[in-house]
Every structure is written in structure tokens, then in C-alpha cells.
């Protein structure tokens, strides 16, 4: 057996009195039942939603019809809205990113990643609603990076805690997309968002779990060891993270909502539905004490233009 540690399940009845989490995997990925996202939240509900995100790392809501403002309000339960990424914004709601895939805009984020790990302070998490779904496909997978760490041998855990890694958006599809948007956009991004360094293992402040923090899209290299060792360690981790025991595979219904913790998960948006249409509305949110003033990433780089044309 790969993991001989005894499983201790979260005691849901003792911990939750105002919402009802229904786990989909052991201590990972839960439906949140009996919460109406169209109504203001009580402080008790907000506190338990934050607790659920710490406990289960990605939480799901059944389809609901919510306004863009209610979507933003849900994200703000967990932290202040972040400046987001390079994606286009909903007109009149700059906090809400629009990721639209169709015949003219094929899906392009089919890789394992942690949102915006290329910033010094990556966002705490993300809240998305898939408002339009294709006839089939278009699912999303998440992996628990805390489970991935927990299942490693003690010696490997100790070794990884000594390492750091470089993260950059330049290793991802964003470089080609910005290049197509024009030389000015690419140069703006290179100047504004330089590579950053993060520990390979990070302590989650809410759950106390240790989490692996490297991903296929944005982690360029492991630092501080021989380059062959670095490449081998990164390759091992990226493969290890994909064990099915760490993964939830989620099929969408139109109007359904997911909120995930960037500190303890990675995700992958399946690209198996082209040329059909899929619309993802997304709000990222920061740590409560993070600095969030200033232009969005989109405004900084594209100056009001569009990544997709």
C-alpha cells in the first residue's frame, strides 16, 4: 500500500452548524449544500465557508443563477479581489475575468497549474462559474497538493523542504498569446512581471498542512542544486502530483460554481470539446492582508486591449 498512515476524517457534524459540506474524496473536494448565493451571507455562514475551503481545498455549489456582483461578493468572502491574470474582463465588472472558448478561440489552458504562481504573492484562491457548457466534455480536474506531500516518504519530505523554485508566466501559453497581441503587450508583461522564487513546500496557514508548490505551467526550475538533479526532482514531482488518489474529476452543469484554494491545489481544464462553446466567469482573491490596489494585470499589460482579439 502506497500510504500506510491511518486516515482521520474531518468531523463535519462537530465543526459545521450553518452549512453542510458533503465530501467527494477523503478530506478533499466537497459539495456545499443549503447555501443560497443570491442572498447576503451571515457572519456564521461566511466563517464556515472559509473553514470549508481550508478543510476541503476545493468546494462546489450546485447550479444557481447569480449576478456578476454576487459572484464577486462570493469571492470576497474569502479575501479581497486580486488583480487577476491576462484574461479579458466582463464589461463594467473589471473584477470578473471571462475565459470564452469556441471555434475561433480554442481552449488553451489544458495543463496542470496553480493560478498566477508567477507573482510574489499568488492569489489565495479562485471562484468560477461555468455559465455555458459544451454538449459533452469541458470538465475540470483538481489535485490536492497537501495529500501529495503527505504521501511522500519522510526523507523526501525533508529534502523538498530545503528547496526553492523559480516561477514565471513565460514558460506558459501566455507568452505566445501576448506575442500575438503585439510586441508592446509582450514587452509590458516582461517588464512588469519578472520571475519569482517560492519554496517547493509551503505551510498552509489555515489548515496547517504542508503543500507541494510547483506546477507544470509556471515552474521553470528548481534552484540550489545541480541542474540535472533539479530537472529530475521537478519531473518526479509533476508526475507524482497526478496520482488519482490526489485528484477529483468534476463534470460541470451550466451555472455551477467552484471555489478553490490556490495554496493547496492545482487544476486542469480539459480541452476535449472544440469547436463547441464554453464560458468560464472567474474572480481570483487574495490573502486578507494582501495589497490589492492598482491596475489589473490585463490593464497593465494590454492597456485596455484584448488578449483574444
Give me the pLDDT at residue 161, please: 98
Give me the pLDDT at residue 88, please: 83
Give the domain CATH number at 241.
Answer: 3.60.130.10
The residues that are catalytic are 113, 115, 267, 282
Helices 68-78 and 43-56 pack at an angle, to 10 degrees, of: 70
User: Is residue 5 a part of any domain in this protein?
Assistant: no
User: Is residue 308 a part of any domain in this protein?
Assistant: no
User: Is residue 3 a part of any domain in this protein?
Assistant: no
Task: Give 186's pLDDT tier (boundaries 50, 70, 90).
Answer: confident
Is residue 284 packed enough to be buried (19+ CB in 10 Å), middle (13-18) or exposed (0-12)? Answer: buried
User: Is residue 66 a part of any domain in this protein?
Assistant: yes
* DSSP track, 82-145: ----SSEEETTEEEEEEEEESSSS-----S-B-TTTTSSS--SEEEEEEEE--SS---EEEEEH
Q: Which tens digit of pLDDT belongs to each residue from 25-49?
A: 999 999 999 999 999 999 999 999 9
User: Is residue 136 a part of any domain in this protein?
Assistant: yes
Domain count for the chain: 1
Distances from the Cα of 309 to the Cα of 100, 111, 134, 177, angstroms: 12, 22, 22, 10
- Mean pLDDT, rounded, for 119-142: 96
Task: Please name every residue paired with 130 in a beta bridge, in sequence order, or none if there are none.
Answer: 280
User: Is residue 35 a part of any domain in this protein?
Assistant: yes
Q: Which tens digit of pLDDT belongs to each residue from 209-239?
A: 999 999 999 999 999 999 999 999 999 999 9
User: Is residue 205 a part of any domain in this protein?
Assistant: yes
Q: Which residues are within 8 A (CB) of 156 and not within 5 positions of it... i.e. 6 or more apart?
A: none
* DSSP track, 180-203: HH-HHHHHHHHHHS--EEEESEEE
Range of the domain at 209: 15-302
Give me the pLDDT at residue 109, please: 83
Q: Which residues are within 8 A (CB) of 301 and not within 5 positions of it... i.e. 6 or more apart?
A: 86, 178, 185, 188, 189, 192
Amino acid at each position: 500500500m502506497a500510504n500506510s498512515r491511518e486516515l482521520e476524517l474531518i468531523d463535519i457534524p462537530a465543526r459545521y452548524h450553518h452549512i453542510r459540506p458533503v465530501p467527494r474524496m477523503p478530506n478533499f473536494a466537497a459539495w456545499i449544500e443549503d447555501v443560497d448565493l443570491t442572498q447576503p451571507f451571515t457572519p456564521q455562514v461566511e466563517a464556515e465557508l472559509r473553514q470549508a475551503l481550508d478543510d476541503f481545498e476545493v468546494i462546489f455549489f450546485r447550479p444557481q443563477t447569480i449576478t456578476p456582483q454576487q459572484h464577486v461578493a462570493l469571492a470576497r468572502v474569502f479575501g479581497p479581489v486580486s488583480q487577476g491574470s491576462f484574461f479579458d474582463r466582463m464589461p463594467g465588472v473589471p473584477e470578473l475575468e471571462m475565459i470564452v472558448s469556441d471555434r475561433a478561440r480554442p481552449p488553451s489552458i489544458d495543463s496542470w497549474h496553480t493560478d498566477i504562481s508567477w507573482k510574489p504573492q499568488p492569489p489565495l484562491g479562485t471562484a468560477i462559474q461555468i455559465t455555458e457548457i459544451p454538449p459533452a466534455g469541458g470538465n475540470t480536474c483538481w489535485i490536492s497538493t497537501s495529500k501529495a506531500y503527505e504521501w511522500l516518504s519522510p526523507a523526501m519530505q525533508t529534502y523538498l523542504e530545503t528547496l526553492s523554485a523559480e516561477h514565471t508566466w513565460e514558460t506558459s501559453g501566455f507568452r505566445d498569446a501576448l506575442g500575438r497581441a503585439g510586441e508592446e503587450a509582450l514587452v509590458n508583461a516582461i517588464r512588469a512581471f519578472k520571475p519569482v522564487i517560492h519554496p517547493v513546500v509551503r505551510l498552509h496557514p489555515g489548515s496547517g498542512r504542508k503543500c507541494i508548490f510547483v506546477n507544470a505551467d509556471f515552474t521553470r526550475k528548481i534552484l540550489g542544486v545541480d541542474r540535472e538533479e533539479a530537472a529530475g526532482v521537478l519531473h518526479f514531482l509533476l508526475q507524482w502530483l497526478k496520482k488519482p488518489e490526489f485528484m477529483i474529476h468534476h463534470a460541470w452543469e451550466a451555472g455551477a460554481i467552484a471555489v478553490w484554494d490556490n495554496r493547496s491545489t492545482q487544476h486542469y481544464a480539459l480541452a476535449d470539446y472544440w469547436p463547441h462553446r464554453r464560458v468560464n466567469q472567474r474572480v481570483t482573491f487574495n490573502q486578507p492582508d494582501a495589497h490589492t490596489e492598482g491596475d489589473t494585470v490585463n490593464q497593465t499589460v494590454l492597456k485596455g486591449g484584448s488578449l483574444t482579439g
